[in-house]
Amino acid sequence: MRIGELAEQAGVTAKTVRYYESIGLLPDPGRSPSGYRDYDEDASQRLRFIRDAQAAGLTLKESRTILDMKAEGHGTCQHTRALLDRHLADIDAQIASLEAARAELVALSSRADILDPADCTDPQRCQVVPVD
């Protein structure tokens, strides 16, 4: 199949296919007699895996590691689980940071509710944001 058909089947763009080829994530396909790239079903399955892995939060480098391990005949479930657990920990840390930021913003908003705008006389700052 040609690049456009492959891209459509995998739910990516032809530019993405070319990029993955350029970084070695997708093997160079054979060429038709007229010089067009000629992809097989394996390329389509590989692209769908990469797309799905990205949707799950894995990086292209991590996807490559999994695919390389598979190509070498190694099991990948434990490795993939460790990657996913690391991403979960990162997301949990981001959530905690966002919750702390939200709490600070709620406190500042509440502070703004009780302050009198007439008392805001400093030309360099707003009284809603406290001075440390």
The domain segmentation of the chain, as residue ranges, is 1-74, 76-113
* CATH number 1.10.1660.10 is the correct assignment for the domain at 1-74: yes
Beta bridge partners of 30: 38
Take residue 117 and report the two structure tokens written for it.
């705008």
Query: For 39-53, what is each residue's pLDDT tens digit?
Result: 999 999 999 999 999
pLDDT of residue 9 exceeding 80, the answer is yes
CA–CA gap between residue 63 and residue 25 (Å, rounded): 8
CB atoms within 10 A of CB 128: 13
Query: For 78-111, what is each residue's pLDDT tens digit?
Result: 999 999 999 999 999 999 999 999 999 999 999 9
